Amino acid sequence: MTPARSRLLAALVALLALGAGLGTAALGAAGVLDARGSGDAPFASASASSSAWTASATAAPTTAPTTAATQPPETLRPRRQPRHQQHHPAPLAGKVVVIDPGHQLGNGAHPSEINRPVDAGGFDKPCNTTGTSTNDGYPEATFAWEVALRLREELEALGATVELTRNSNSEDAWGPCVDARGRAGNPGEPGPTADVKLSIHGDGTYTAGAHGFHVIAPGDLPGYTDDIEADSLDLAHVVRDALVHGGFAVSTYTGTDGIDVRTDLGTLNLADMPTVMVELGNMRDAGDAAEMESSSGQDAYADALAAGISAYLR
């Protein structure tokens, strides 16, 4: 082989190697783009940073003093990967949502505090309760907290300002009381005035075969809910529809087609904005419990609730 042909062959080999490198880089970039989503749906994850409500009941603080050691390691919870890119950067910009994660992990260790009577809308009820659990002991308070954190991420990704009624899920803490939860987000209360409020719970009935979710709206309680009753019922229907669309079955044991109306809940009665409470499933039912304990199930609940709140606020 002549020296000229040797040089030509070496140049061709170099060019082929360069092309292969560029192709590998392009495939790598395409893989990253695919992992980030196609941009066909409206929700994406966002930072979970947000201020929490510090509101308390009028008679006494509703949470025990906490330190950094007693705060939940929010940042240690595996962050959800963004499932979709958004068409609009902030469709809920300017909206304020209060999320009320039901109960508190340490309520059971503070019986005198949580049994103290507080106003619930012209009548007294205990400050709070321990909540229920699955048959294997997974607490309602922890379920509500996990869904609330995921929902906060979704709503903040859509541009909303999100406030929580409690800032921990700790065995050392208790409360807040239902009156503080009910007033959170009202005009004149600490923090921004809310556009909507959603209280997250799990039910705990032992009735055989009882399963599914239901959404509770406040009934007509003159002087308390008469100004939010109709709008809250509208919100309940939108949230119900979003949960059904998300693949969840309506309750087989209470309410009508997934909707219940009550006048005995201070969290609803003391609110001054459209407000609903969701019982996302029966924690004593094996099927519901499996969904409520799993990370994927909690993601799905948060996705559906975010869709419902977003649809209502838009």
| Length of the chain in terms of residues written | 314
Give residue 300's identity as a one-letter amino acid code.
Answer: A
How would you write 115-149 as a 3-class SS string? CCEEECCCCEEECCCCCCECCCCCEHHHHHHHHHH
Q: Can you give the pLDDT of all 314 residues of the chain as single tens digits?
A: 444 444 434 444 344 344 444 343 333 333 332 332 333 333 333 333 333 343 333 333 444 333 333 334 443 444 454 444 445 679 999 999 999 999 999 999 999 999 999 999 999 999 999 999 999 999 999 999 999 999 999 999 999 999 999 999 999 999 999 999 999 999 999 999 999 999 999 999 999 999 999 999 999 999 999 999 999 999 999 999 999 999 999 999 999 999 999 999 999 999 999 999 999 999 999 999 999 999 999 999 999 999 999 999 99
CA distance 32 to 289: 35
Domain map (residue ranges) of the chain: 37-313
- Which residue in the list 171, 279, 291, 293 is annotated as catalytic? 279
**Which CATH class for the 37-313 domain?**
alpha beta
Radius of gyration of the chain (CA): 24
Distance of CA 74 to the CA centre of its chain: 14
Q: Is 291 a catalytic residue?
A: no
